[in-house]
Amino acid sequence: MLTDRELAAIRALEAEVVAHDGGRLKLELGALEKGEVDTALHWDGDRLVGFAGRYPFGPPDEVAGMVAPSHRRRGIATGLLREVLAGSALLITPTGTPAGRAFAESLGATRRHSEHFLVLGETPQTPEQPAVSTRVAVEEDNEVVRDLLRRAFDWEPPADVLHRFGDTTRVIELDGTPVGTVRVSDKGDWAGVYGFAVDPAHQGKGIGRDVLARVCREVRARGVPRVTLEVETENAAALGLYTSLGFELVAGEDYWEVHD
């Protein structure tokens, strides 16, 4: 578990790196605060100059980190990566920032995919379909949710897919039949939408638009000002849906496959 001093130092380093490089860093501070991440830190005296974390968001796990601009090209990033890397993982670097891309390429990493990071503008006001409903998932829904994620993303979900990291997973139903799922991470001052999937057999019926708009309204009604989500850059249909509901593209990340 990171100490308050270490968390404050990570935030300060993040601000310094973003001010220098631009973009954003996907450090998932909420997960860091809860002690859910394997971390490595590099200090220069009492100043934190390097950080790396391995996040259990997979499979595979994800790795993100940063090095102070004044301390780059000293092997710090490579050393931190070795500390947290076990087996294979996806290294996340900000899209469009030369430092992250150069580091990934120096490792011989292969870019797996890229994602857009979007933030909600105005709260969407759309009509609701009476046949569509959502409910909080219970343990008996675990395999149903995993199957929905498989069909939507061609991806093998983890065994403990429900309510990961304290988030809330919901089952989307059409006339009482599960047809989708969505997970919301509510941190109080912001909320992230993850694992948003509608069974391909039921796509194109407006279900996704209806549910995402409902989720956004519910989150904003709780007083949460910032709502975010991520989408693969090649998923033009999903990106079109999100932007049509008021989400705005603000940054992006590249995901690189790395091995120890």
pLDDT score at 165: 77
CATH number at residue 11: 3.40.630.30
Shared domain for 189 and 216, answered yes or no, is: yes
Shared domain for 99 and 135, answered yes or no, is: no
Q: Is residue 161 domain-resident?
A: yes
Boundary (domain end) residue, out of 90, 117, 144: 117
Dist. CA 49–CA 47, nearest whole Å: 6
Shared domain for 14 and 108, answered yes or no, is: yes
pLDDT score at 240: 96
pLDDT score at 33: 87
Q: How many CB atoms lie within 10 A of CB 70?
A: 11
Positive or negative: CA dihedral 176, 180, 185, 191: negative
Q: Is residue 258 domain-resident?
A: no
Q: Is residue 159 domain-resident?
A: yes
Shared domain for 164 and 181, answered yes or no, is: yes
Q: Is residue 253 domain-resident?
A: no
Shared domain for 48 and 110, answered yes or no, is: yes
For the entire predicted model, the pTM comes to: 0.89
**Residues 68-102: tens digit of each pLDDT:** 999 999 999 999 999 999 889 999 999 988 889 99
Helix, strand or coil, per DSSP, at residue 62: strand
Q: Which domain holds residue 79?
A: 4-117
**Residues 93-117: tens digit of each pLDDT:** 999 888 899 999 999 999 999 999 9
Strands ordered across the beta sheet of 62-67:
38-44, 47-55, 62-67, 88-94, 247-259, 110-120, 226-232, 190-198, 177-186, 168-174, 132-136
- In this model, does residue 169 exceed pLDDT 80? yes
Boundary (domain end) residue, out of 61, 91, 117: 117
Q: Is residue 155 domain-resident?
A: yes
Dist. CA 5–CA 9, nearest whole Å: 6
Q: Is residue 255 domain-resident?
A: no
Number of domains in the chain: 2
Shared domain for 178 and 239, answered yes or no, is: yes
**Residues 115-130: tens digit of each pLDDT:** 999 999 999 999 999 9
Boundary (domain end) residue, out of 72, 98, 117: 117
Q: How far is CA 44 from CA 10, 41, 78, in A?
A: 13, 10, 16
Shared domain for 112 and 147, answered yes or no, is: no
What element of type H or E holds 186? Answer: strand 177-186
Q: Is residue 249 domain-resident?
A: no
Nearest to 238 by CA among 182, 197, 205: 197
